[in-house]
Amino acid sequence: MLYRLKDMGYEAHLVGGGVRDLLLGREPKDFDVATDATPEQVKEVFRNCRLIGRRFRLAHVRFGGEIIEVATFRAGQPVEDQGEHQTDNGMLLRDNVYGNIEEDALRRDFTVNALYYNIRDFSVIDYANGMQDLRDGLLRLMGDPETRYREDPVRMLRAARFSAKLGFRIEPATEAPMHALADLLAEVPAARLFEEVLKLFLSGHAVGSFEKLRQHGLFGQLFPDTEAALATQEHEFPHTLVLKGLENTDARVTEGKPVTPAFLFAVLLWEPVRLRWLALQGDGVAPYAALHAATGDILDRQLTRVSIPRRFSTPMREIWTLQSRFVHTKGKRPHRLAAHPRFRAAYDFLLLRVAAGEADPELAQWWTDFQGSGDAPAAEPEASDAPRKSRRRRGGRRRRKPDSGGGD
């Protein structure tokens, strides 16, 4: 692709995280290309190209089984020319214009993401001292940090994510405004924050991301009810459950096993749901009805911060509501529960609650034995279920570790 653009007379370079990861000896997840060709010119060069975006157009070029994002060099504008305005809390909104490679480099977020690989002489172009920061393990925001965060508050989440992923220190000036500006995330569309949450927690460094988010006052902007519960019960099972759930998620990603946002959000939001469930029961509501109502209350509140598509929120709610049915171990109820399509995910969640010290280990063991007895009906496996390596076979007793990938 780069050579074809070069042969057509355009300047084109690999840029960003792909270059950074290659220099660190890591396998890049994807590659981005920056060029002086306009999106329309890129489309003329590649027939398998689709243009996306309204405020700033990008070219998506299918290359084998991958999609390569091709962006035209961008530039900052003088304030008087930008059509810049502010939201009520000071978030800056600007339009983008095309520029040259140096302008493009200086408007990127972090110095280590502003490195360009030049195929003409196989060199790395560095306008922002990114190579030195890469060697120093330092994450530095380009430009004035407060201004850059006001331009796009998601940069604070990216700082936490890259710090966790790369093991880099956040440069002091980059770190300093984060607490004070965290509430700018309220201006970011909930759908965009959903995508950022997936990047934070489903990329193999969920525990580190969680710790960085809490350190810089960002987690509470994404999950305010969960943060309130963790802040008051830091050393008890709510914190343990979240950490164990995120540890299991990281382990599954490392092992190449499937993970699901439904289970992730079930873990992150369980404690506020549980507290609301107990409060409703204290008001005289029957346990199952109370749990059903609690899931609706917490989910409605959460959706104002981070959207959760129905394809994930529905199984998440089922994972929660099935928890109240595990106490019924007599008659036909266990068989009906075991036949539920979300049983495996709910059972994994029960084991996670046990590991965190919240649920009764003997109850979990009863369900483990029940499944291995040969009497339990086989629930229909879901598309992303992982192999059940530790599920007890007929005869013999074996306890399972909680599995963060059960379900959808």
In sequence order, the β-bridge partners of residue 59 are 51, 70
Helix (H) or strand (E) holding 126: strand 123-126
pLDDT digits (tens, 9 = 90+) for 164-174: 999 999 999 99
pLDDT digits (tens, 9 = 90+) for 46-60: 989 999 887 778 999
pLDDT digits (tens, 9 = 90+) for 316-365: 999 999 999 999 999 999 999 999 999 999 999 999 999 998 999 999 99
83: left (phi over 0), alpha (psi -120 to 50) or beta: left
Which stretch of 44-58, 235-249, 273-287, 373-387 has the lowest confidence by average pLDDT? 373-387
The rounded distance, in Å, linking the Cα atoms of 49 and 161 is: 30
What average pLDDT does the chain have?
Answer: 87
pLDDT digits (tens, 9 = 90+) for 35-87: 999 999 999 999 899 998 877 789 999 887 888 999 999 987 554 444 444 54
- Would 100 be classed as within a structural domain? no
299 lies in which domain range?
Answer: 223-408
- Would 6 be classed as within a structural domain? no
- Written as six digits, the tokens of 381 are 């496996």
Q: What are phi and psi of 277, to 5 degrees?
A: -60, -50
End-to-end CA distance of the chain: 37
Active site residues: 30, 32, 109
Residue 285: give its domain's CATH number. Answer: 1.10.3090.10
Helix (H) or strand (E) holding 54: none
The answer on pLDDT for 301 being more than 70 is: yes
- Would 383 be classed as within a structural domain? yes
User: Which pLDDT value is given to residue 64?
Assistant: 78
- 105 close to 127: Cβ distance less than 8 angstroms: yes
- Would 254 be classed as within a structural domain? yes
Q: With the C-alpha atoms ordered 120, 121, 124, 128, is the resulting torsion angle positive or negative? A: negative
User: Which pLDDT value is given to residue 377?
Assistant: 64
Q: Percent of the chain beyond pLDDT 90?
A: 73
Q: Tokens 């890129």 — which residue? A: 42
pTM: predicted TM-score of the whole model, two decimal places: 0.84
- 382 falls in which pLDDT band (50, 70, 90)? very low
The rounded distance, in Å, linking the Cα atoms of 127 and 102 is: 7
The answer on pLDDT for 26 being more than 70 is: yes
DSSP 332: T
- Would 256 be classed as within a structural domain? yes
The rounded distance, in Å, linking the Cα atoms of 169 and 133 is: 10
| Number of domains present in the structure of the chain | 1
Which stretch of 96-105, 221-230, 247-256 has the lowest confidence by average pLDDT? 96-105
The answer on pLDDT for 383 being more than 80 is: no
- Would 320 be classed as within a structural domain? yes
Burial grade of 272 (CB within 10 A; 0-12, 13-18, 19 or more): buried
Gyration radius (Cα) of the chain, Å: 24
Between 296 and 401, the more confident residue is 296
- Would 311 be classed as within a structural domain? yes
- 265 close to 198: Cβ distance less than 8 angstroms: no
